[in-house]
Amino acid sequence: MRYFLDPFGCAKNQVDAEIMMASLNEAGWVSADDPADADLIIVNSCGFIEAAKRESINAVLAWKKLYPQKKILLAGCLTQRYRTELEESLTEADGFLGCEELDTIPLKAAKLFKPILALPNTSVFQSRGLRPLLGFPGSAYVKISEGCNNNCTFCAIPLIRGPLRCRAIPDIVEECRQLLERGVKELCLIGQDLASFKYVNDEPDTNGVSGLAALLKAIAGLPGNFWVRLLYLHPDHFPPDILDIAANDSRFLPYFDIPFQHASPKILSLMGRKGNAESYLDLLETIRAKLPDAVIRSTFLVGFPGETEEDFKALLDFQKKACFNWLGVFAYSREDQTPAYLLKGRVSKKLAAQRKAFIEEKQLPITEKKMNRFVGRTMDVLVEEAVDNVWLGRLFCHAPEVDGAAIIKIASPEKNAGNLMLLPKPGGMVQGKVVARSGFDLEVLVPSAQ
């Protein structure tokens, strides 16, 4: 039996998809590259905001219309959040699987095909480091925690994923070791909030060391030359002790994804955030003082209920002072059952979209100027793919999928003609000199024989 997986959502969802694939493969299923060849189509859904919900539901409808004879399984966050409603209304789906029951997917899939398939043993897939990887070669996401306790008023994550649960440090390190032994060069640590990572069972910190710093120190014991990238750190409890680790071990990239969301005291308070523009700017100054090469990505949420022109101006002022390398801007999505759902002073979708576009326009020259500082430097490049004889990759300043890219150019390409051994290999590391900026991308000249 063959399956095709249609993935939606964030990097956390990608890891869930990889775990489902590993469980199915272990049970004897085969992954199909073409849905036409599959017996089962799995839509791994996102339920974070309204647009993502519609996208996942539309995928189910489209697959059923295109392949009415195939079984469709709706998995992931949307099922986790709205299972009862979906089972009643979305008859196009033949089965449903929440994100807290990923390991049972072989049993769920087999039940859809009874009596064709015998029910498998429901052994839990444990070797996370051996799972299929859906991203570009050389990079893997490592989920260190599940759920969230921050309870930001706009966010549905606690409704979907539940409260914070952290994995044991030895378990995470073993996954990292397995991935590195497979040739992975970049470990992207993810969770709803890495800054909240704690020791398992809420054990007290040792000598004041944060849980995240303890994890990084454990990963530092692994041999080899690799990257560790930290994604999603809540600014209200950013652990400063991780900065010394990055300063002393170049494998821990000075790249920080910190979703500040806003700068107006009123809006931050309504969002359930404890910080303010001043404390957030102090945090940025602390990071950059310790790590002059620091690259910081952030996100803003505009159009939140009660956001006035004065609040928006405060956000613009913060954007100017913060000088982020990368910035994503999102318009507020009113999500049922979240505390912000009942707030008054709703901002029109048109005005929220205008504010989003205005901030994005203001960010263009800031990001371009930030990228200019890399021109002239010799740096490591993680090669991702070749497109029409052009190699694309990423420098440490580029997180997977969301930032710019490195456009790799080969010095004296005629020397490589006919010799594939001398060309960059996807998933490998090469070293080159950044010779120019092209928009948000950086052009990197690589010697011909690496």
Instruction: Look up the CATH number of the domain holding residue 389.
Output: 2.40.50.140
- pTM of the shown model: 0.88
Q: Let me know whether 387 and 362 are in one domain.
A: no
178 plus 261 within the same structural domain: yes
Rg, the chain, Cα only: 23
The answer on 187 and 314 residing in a single domain is: yes
Q: Are residues 209 and 257 both part of a single domain?
A: yes
Tokens 């102090």 belong to: 282
pLDDT band at 208 (very low <50, low <70, confident <90, very high): confident
Residue 424 in this model has a pLDDT that exceeds 90? no
Q: Give the integer Cα–Cα distance in Å for 156 and 175.
A: 28
pLDDT in tens, 343-371: 999 999 999 999 999 999 999 999 999 99
Helix (H, G, I), strand (E, B) or coil at 136: coil
Is residue 60 domain-shared with residue 164, that is, in the same domain? no
The residue ranges of DSSP E strands in 46-182, in sequence order, are 71-76, 95-98, 139-143, 145-146, 165-166
Q: What is the pLDDT of residue 447?
A: 81
Q: Kind and range of the H or E element at 267?
A: helix 265-271
* Residue 413 reports pLDDT greater than 60: no
Domain final position from 354, 372, 390? 372
Q: Is 121 contained in some domain?
A: no
Given a cut of 50, whether residue 420 has pLDDT beyond it is: no
Task: Render pLDDT for 312-328 as a digit per residue (tens, 0 to 9).
Answer: 999 999 999 999 999 99
44 and 149 both lie in a single domain: no
Alpha-carbon distance of 311 to 345, in angstroms, equals 13
344 and 393 part of one domain = no
Q: Please check whether residues 358 and 408 belong to one and the same domain.
A: no
- Evaluate whether residue 124 is within a structural domain: no
Structure tokens at 63: 């697959």
Q: Are strands 227-230 and 252-257 parallel, antiparallel or unpaired?
A: parallel
Q: Do 85 and 227 have their domain in common? A: no
Q: 174, 268, 193, 189: which is closest to 234 by C-alpha?
A: 193
Which CATH number is 7's domain given?
3.40.50.12160
Q: Are 25 and 132 in contact (CB under 8 A)?
A: yes
Alpha-helical regions (H) of 27-156:
50-66, 77-89, 105-112
Number of neighbours of residue 244 by Cβ within 10 angstroms = 12
Q: d(Cα 10, Cα 330) in Å, to the nearest integer?
A: 15
Poorest-confidence range of 40-49, 289-298, 404-413?
404-413
CATH number at residue 268: 3.80.30.20
d(CA 167, CA 175): 11
pLDDT-above-90 percentage for the chain: 66
- State the chain's maximal CA–CA distance in angstroms: 66
Q: How many independent structural domains does the chain possess?
A: 3
What does the pLDDT read at residue 421?
A: 45
In angstroms, how far is CA 348 from the centroid of its own chain? 29
Beta-strand ranges (E) seen in 232-335 are: 252-257, 295-302, 326-331
Given a cut of 50, whether residue 121 has pLDDT beyond it is: yes
> Is position 107 within any domain?
yes
Q: Is the pLDDT of residue 204 over 60?
A: no
Residue-wise pLDDT tens digits, 158-193: 888 889 999 999 999 999 999 999 999 999 999 999
The predicted structure's pLDDT at residue 126: 60
DSSP structure string for 326-372: EEEEEE----TTSGGGG-SSPPPHHHHHHHHHHHHHHHHHHHHHHHH
Supply the mean pLDDT for the chain: 89
Decide which of 292 and 415 is more confident. Answer: 292
pLDDT band of 81, cuts 50, 70, 90: confident
- The pLDDT value recorded for residue 119 is 59
Whether residues 344 and 425 fall in one domain: no
**Structure tokens that stand for 121 in this block:** 């043993």
Phi, psi of 295, deg, nearest 5: -115, 125
Task: Report if residue 125 sits inside a domain.
Answer: no
Instruction: Classify residue 123: in a domain, yes or no.
Output: no
Residue 331, pLDDT score: 95
Q: Which helix (H) or strand (E) holds 408?
A: strand 406-410
Tell which phi-psi region holds residue 174, choosing left (phi > 0), alpha (psi between -120 and 50) or beta. Answer: alpha
- Mapping DSSP to helix (H, G, I), strand (E, B) and coil, where does residue 78 land? helix
**CA 53 to CA 48: how far, in whole Å?**
7
8 domain-assigned: yes
Residue 382 has pLDDT above 80, yes or no: yes
> Where does a domain end: 345, 372, 399?
372
Please indicate, yes or no, if residue 120 is contained in any of the structural domains: no
Alpha-carbon torsion, ordered 265, 268, 274, 276, to 10 deg: -40
- Domain presence at residue 63: yes
Q: Which domain range does residue 398 map to?
A: 378-446
Task: State pLDDT tens for residues 238-265.
Answer: 999 999 999 999 999 999 999 999 999 9
How do residues 85-114 score in pLDDT, each as one tens digit? Answer: 988 899 899 999 998 888 889 989 988 887
Average pLDDT of the segment spanning 51-75? 91
Q: Are residues 255 and 276 in the same domain?
A: yes
**Boundary of a domain, candidates 340, 372, 404:** 372
Q: Hey, is 157 helix, strand or coil?
A: helix
Closest C-alpha among 271, 263, 243, 241 to residue 255: 243
The rounded distance, in Å, linking the Cα atoms of 59 and 8 is 10
pLDDT of the residue at 104 = 87
167 plus 313 within the same structural domain: yes
